[in-house]
Amino acid sequence: MDSLITWIAIVYHPPIVMSSSLFYPMIFLLTTAFIRFYYNNYFRLYHGG
């Protein structure tokens, strides 16, 4: 859940973050982490792993 909160915080952060050259790399990394987190939970729930 922390990954989701962080992702939302970055996406809805004030525009000053958007002016940062790190904004898009951060979005990419956080989105990748979020997807990996989501699928890990998905497989744990539905495959008992």
User: Three-class SS string for the chain?
Assistant: CHHHHHHHHHHCCCHHHCCCCCHHHHHHHHHHHHHHHHHHHHHHHHHCC
Task: Give the global pTM.
Answer: 0.42
Q: How far apart are CA 20 and CA 11, in angstroms?
A: 13
Question: What pLDDT does residue 49 have?
Answer: 54
Kindly indicate the confidence band of residue 19, based on its pLDDT and cuts at 50, 70 and 90.
low
Cα 32 to the chain's mean position, in Å? 6
Q: Using one digit for the tens of pLDDT, what is the confidence trace for 23-41? A: 778 788 888 998 888 888 8
* pLDDT greater at residue 43 or residue 19: 43
Question: What pLDDT does residue 6 have?
Answer: 76
What is the average pLDDT score of the chain? Answer: 75
Q: How far apart are CA 4 and CA 41, in angstroms?
A: 13
